[in-house]
Structure 1
Amino acid sequence: MWGELIQEVRVAQTGVQILFGFLLTVVFTPRYAQLPDTDQAIYIVTVVLGACATGALIGPVSLHRLVSGRRVKPQAVRWASRLTLVGLVLLLATMTASLLLILRVATHDSYVPYLVASVVAWYGLCWFVLPLWTRRRYTTR
């Protein structure tokens, strides 16, 4: 299970690191100073969420390295799995906040919250609902 978990984490790690890297550069653009206070607050929340998601998704690698050879693999897999799930939830929150900020800057239409909610629902369906449904439907008792 450890190998599968690390492979899964690698995919999420790459995405969150790229997103976080782009987020870190926004504050240094001339346009940032012109953003309304609300958009700057959304940006700050987004960066903090991205930092937390990055930490949670890199955590399993550090955990593995620090407990390797200590005969605690079942416990390490459990904790790494939990960190990964927390990281995915934080990644979802980061992507939601990023999308909200980008769409607020790109357009000032009132449909932005509905569009963001639709995308979040899609992520929720793909990342959580379908896997949980599959687990419940096909797990043998």
Structure 2
Amino acid sequence: MESIRHLALGCCVVSTAAGLLRVFWPDNGYKPVINAVLMLYIITAVWQFARTADWQGVVGQLQNFSAAAKTDYEPYAQSLAEQVSAQAVREILQQNGIEAAVSLRDGTLYVTPARPADAPRVRGLLQENCGSLPYTVQSGGDAP
């Protein structure tokens, strides 16, 4: 295989010389020969690479790359999901006529109703709508 590759390289050098000759003597017919030899060299180089490449190593690197990319975005996606959930809780409370402060800290939703009498309704709505998002209903509202 190596000797074929060296032979193709030699033909490529000869074709390059013929190409330079064509620059100074444009009426010759070396163009198809030059293209054929260059194609032969490219094919043998690709074939040699394909036979000697470490395909298992390439596959391993691609798997490591995909695993690293997956873990890099996971916390960000979780944070976005929690923010969307907090916004949905705000909207549900507003739709039910409940004024409350809603905040998200460390993955837990903290809800403080403006009126202490709304706390049982808030707990019921959160129980129905929060799913797996942890929540805490805080007292502290003093609105009439």
Question: What TM-score comes out, normalization by structure 2 length?
Answer: 0.33
Q: Greater relative contact order (Cα 8 A, min sep 6): structure 1 or 2?
A: 1
- The structure carrying a bigger strand percent of its residues is 2
Find the structure with the greater CA-based Rg. 2
- The structure carrying a bigger helix percent of its residues is 1
